[in-house]
Homo-oligomer: A and B are copies of this chain.
Amino acid sequence: MKGLYLVTDRDLCGDRSLEDVVLRSVKGGARYVQIREKDQSTRAFIEEALSIKEILEPFSIPLIINDRVDVALAVKADGVHVGQADMPYKMARSLMGPGAIIGLSVETWEDVEEAEALDCDYIGVSPVFETPTKTDTKGAWGLDGLARIRAFSRHRLVAIGGLNESNAADVAAAGADCLAVVSAICAAPDPEAASRELAGIIADARGRTDRV
């Protein structure tokens, strides 16, 4: 996994539909899309996921569902992202099967160590910076924390939390394989342009890192 990873927040989309924001972000260069919903009914979540899946399929962009393995199974999503308060990783793997993408958030160093024993597809370093869109976490990792995890972990790293155009290069340089972005895309006046800029920053930073 490499590149820009969109995590949705319907409330931030304003008067645009989530489908519209997702489509524009993918056209701008997002390589992964995770739908995160906490307040919708299961049925509404499933309908939304089916609708986003249809948008992503022509682009071969994986659809990842936050937390809800039931929704992921119902819509045959490509994967799930689970946090430390969601379904335990091994149960999720068992239900989703060996081919699914499963990401796991790490919020403490203990989480990072425990993840070494798991065959997750990535760990979500969450949050890198403090962010108003997710308030149930245990404190930000910072660039130092991200670099420390990079030096320790065998897993691919998806950085999330407060990422935007101003810090994306530093985050990529600190070792993130993917940058997961919420408000800097969902709340952007032009989600396609914002995604293009972010994807470009990540590609440039990776180019530099690879040369080092």
Contacts and interface: CB of A to CB of B under 8 A. Distances in A.
Interface stretch (A1-9, A16-24, A41-49, A197-205): A41-49
Contact residues of A: prevailing secondary structure: helix
Q: How large is the interface on A (under 10, 10 to 19, 20 to 34, 35 or more residues)?
A: 10 to 19
A68 interface: yes
A198 to B, nearest CB: 30
Contact of A46 (B68, B71, B84, B88): B88
A44 B87 contact: no
Nearest to A41: B85
A68 B74 CA distance: 12
Most buried by B among A67, A69, A85: A69
B86 A43 contact: yes
The 3 closest A-B pairs by CB, nearest first: A70-B70, A41-B85, A69-B70
